Amino acid sequence: MGAALGLGAVVGILLGLLGGGGSILAVPALVYGVGQPLSAAVPTSLLVVGISSIAAVLPRLRAGQVQWRIAGVFGGAGAAAAFAGAAVNRLLDPRLVLAGFALLMVAAGIQMLRDRKELGGACALPSGRVNWRRCLPRAIGAGLGVGFLTGLFGVGGGFLIIPALVLLLGLQMPVAIGTSLVIIVLNSAAGFAAHAGDATIDFRVAGAFTAAAIVGSLVAGRFAARLPAARLRRWFAYLVFAVAAFVTVQVLTQPLAS
């Protein structure tokens, strides 16, 4: 239980600071830190990430940092695709899923190291209205891709959602982070629904992990604006690379129960 509390706090802190990213550590934490089989770790991760993202978005709601219409389109497409990802997950060996997860973590780390512009495409207009002719296909396409990965790997997808919102849809970073958290909630709920019937979830572990993540996200959210975002992303990327290397070694050297 101590491991669940400590690792949950880490996931929550990263969600609060970065608006995403912590979820990619949740599955390895549950599998290797808490000792859960992958079949239970994936839905537990989605439950934890979804609930803690609700807590993390609350301060940003008060600040008006959510683009609700884009969140609805992006999240709606992602929720539908999450069921397809979960169906593919059931067909694959757990070791293969974890190996793919390690590759996804490397891609996420590389994404975190890239410089991001404050404003990208012209979907979000300065008036606050949305140019749906440009936004709709981009939001649906990006939402489908992120949703599929949510169902397949049990991640909220914030490390992919935020670059899509900034570079493809043109949201400013504070609004992208808040909107990302809403989308993560929608994707996680759909992914959990797709997986929950196939696994026995230890709700004591899930509850402890979630509670710690909520506290971590609320505390971190108060300090997020005061910390250098570029440095945070860089150190998070290095952490993700280290965890990806650890997962790869475990997959290659140890059998994993399904």
pLDDT of 127 > 60? The answer is no
- Let me know if residue 55 belongs to a domain: yes
pLDDT at 77: 92
Is residue 24 within 8 Å of 104, Cβ to Cβ? yes
Provide φ and ψ at 124, rounded to 5°: -90, 115
Distances (CA, A) of 159 to 12, 18, 21, 78, 255: 14, 9, 5, 14, 29
pLDDT of 187 > 70? The answer is yes
pLDDT at 124: 55
Provide φ and ψ at 257, rounded to 5°: -75, 140
CA distance 73 to 200: 32
The model carries a pTM of 0.76
- Of 151, 56, 52, 102, the closest CA to residue 251 belongs to 102
pLDDT at 258: 45
Q: What is the H or E stretch that residue 66 is in?
A: none
- Let me know if residue 258 belongs to a domain: no
More confident residue, 6 or 128: 6
Number of domains comprising the chain: 1
Q: Which domain, by its residues, includes 47?
A: 2-253
